[in-house]
Every structure is written in C-alpha cells, then in structure tokens.
Amino acid sequence: MSDSESSEEEYIEEEEEEEENIDDDENENMYLLPDDNKTINISDKENYIFNVARVSSDHMSKFELSAILSNRVGQISKNGIHFSELKEEHDPYVLAVNEIKLKRCPLIIIRYIGIIDGKKMYEKWSANELIVNL
C-alpha cells in the first residue's frame, strides 16, 4: 500500500469521526419534554425557554404588573400609540390599564428561570398571555 492510499484512508476515517461529533453536538441542545414527548432546540445564543416548555406560572405578579403599567404609562405620556378603545380618555394610566384588560399591551415580560446545563435560562411571556387580577 502506498503513502497516498494510507493518507486517503486516514482522511476518510477523520471525516467519519467529525460527522459523529457533529451529531453529538446537535443532540446536546435538544431537550425532551415530558408532556407530549416533543423536543425543542435551545440555541447557544438565546437562552430562552419556548412556549411549549414553560415552567413558571401563567399569572402576572403584582411586581410585573407595576413594571408593565409604569413602562406603558411612560410610553403613552410621551405621545406613544395606545391600543385602547377609549378615544376620549387622556389619562395615560387609565389607557394602560384598559390595554391590559383588553389584552392589547405590546410589552413582553422576561422571567429568569435558573441555570440549566451551565446556561442562565429565561422565559418570554407576552403581557397578553398572562392572567391579571386588576
């Protein structure tokens, strides 16, 4: 066997090993969900848990409500667009509360979940998805 043939065989073996390593890397970011045995891919860049795998409550806390209201009141008071049906109302607080009641608030809440596999994980919730006690 010549040197060129042995180097070709080594090259082919190296390619096969690389393909096996790529498959292992892809499976590292896959998580099996207990509910319907679906898998999701969590990328390295975004450490967010997607809708199907959420673990936190679907109720908005009073702290999240106050943060949402203060941000929305600030935006509306600076002549931001409001999505409320109250056209004659000019109080930003009333408009912001009405948006939340009508489920038309454009803000997103990001909740810290914890560290999973060495990554800080977060959940994104739309303010419209959460149950609010007003």
Q: Which domain holds residue 65?
A: 46-126
User: Burial, 60: exposed, middle or buried (Cβ in 10 Å; 0-12, 13-18, 19+)?
Assistant: buried
Average pLDDT, the chain: 76
Number of domains observed in the structure of the chain: 2
Percentage of residues in the chain with pLDDT exceeding 90?
45
Higher pLDDT, 8 or 81: 81
Asked if residue 52 is part of any domain, the answer here is: yes
- Contact yes or no for 71/77 (Cβ under 8 A): no
1-5, 31-35, 126-130, range with the lowest pLDDT? 31-35
Lowest mean pLDDT among 7-16, 24-33, 70-79, 95-104: 24-33
**pLDDT tens-digit map of 33-61:** 444 444 445 454 467 777 778 889 999 99
CB contact at 8 A, 104 and 127? no
Give me the CATH number covering residue 94. 3.90.940.10
What is the dihedral angle through the alpha carbons of 82, 85, 90, 96, rounded to the nearest 10 degrees? -50
Confidence (pTM): 0.63
- Which CA distances in Å does 74 have to 16, 90, 91, 95, 132? 58, 13, 11, 11, 20
Q: Are residues 18 and 50 in the same domain?
A: no
